[in-house]
Amino acid sequence: MIIDVDIGNTRIKWRYAQPGASIQFLDFPDAVPAEWLNLPSGSRIRLSSVVGPEKTTSFVTLIKACCGIDAEIAVVKSPFAGVNVAYAEPLRLGVDRWLALLAGHHFSPGRDLVVVHGGTALVVDFLSSDGRHVGGFIAPGVRTALSGLLSSADAIRLADSTVMRRDQPGTTTLECIHAGFSALYGGFLQQIAKSASANLDRPRWIFAGGDGEFLVGLGFELWKEESPLVVPGLVMDGLAIALP
């Protein structure tokens, strides 16, 4: 039995490393999920973490205490599995970005790629068909930007803070936010597309993260020739390549 874990800035995602396994979520816990207890002998836990060493070590220690398993932690390596990181110091690239690039390169060999991860941060990376990481972009994630807006504007009070696509001006505060965020992030994707056309050859787009579906819906004009892939567990897919 193998369990793959993606520790993000906001929450932890995990799933069993088997076809069709669903992604499950937990906050930074005081105990591991009940499913992790009494795992079969020889079980493994593979882990990607973008939080600080203290939180990561604390969680790894918890896994050892509760499960008796030494978690395997992914570390950026370059070159690796055909992917060459653009950073002069590869370890400065977020491990989640690296794992997403490994998985994207594996899913679409021989294709230039635009890999978009919509989480706490909105991160985009370009990858050429030969595995060369061209570089990337980082912006505030949708929920991060919304949280910042709501915390900074005392007059805005929302019962529902889920952002949805809206192309027309709003006539309520919530509708106005939908329209504003759709314009903001839709424009971001348009700019990424322009840069991609200058740096890549007919790239395939791959979306991951909690805001992947929302972002795909904003770029409908960009997908006329080929629909993008939406792979919520892209980082965990990369764990299978980094830690086979």
Non-local (6+) Cβ contacts of 95 within 8 A are 48, 49, 50, 74, 75, 76
Count of beta carbons in the 10 Å neighbourhood of residue 169: 9
> Taking a C-beta distance cutoff of 8 angstroms, is the pair 118, 137 a contact?
no
CA distances from 236 to 123, 144, 209, 231 (A): 16, 22, 11, 10
- Helix orientation angle between 173-199 and 142-152, rounded to the nearest 10 degrees: 140
3-state secondary structure of 83: strand
What's the order of all strands across the beta sheet hosting 44-49?
Answer: 24-26, 12-16, 2-7, 44-49, 72-73
3-state secondary structure of 5: strand
How far apart CA 7 and CA 5 sit, in angstroms, is 6
211 belongs to the catalytic site: no
> Taking a C-beta distance cutoff of 8 angstroms, is the pair 105, 81 a contact?
yes
Dihedrals phi, psi of 146, to nearest 5 degrees:
-65, -45
Count of beta carbons in the 10 Å neighbourhood of residue 132: 16
- Which of the residues 96, 112, 211, 237 is marked catalytic? 96
User: Which residues are catalytically annotated?
Assistant: 96
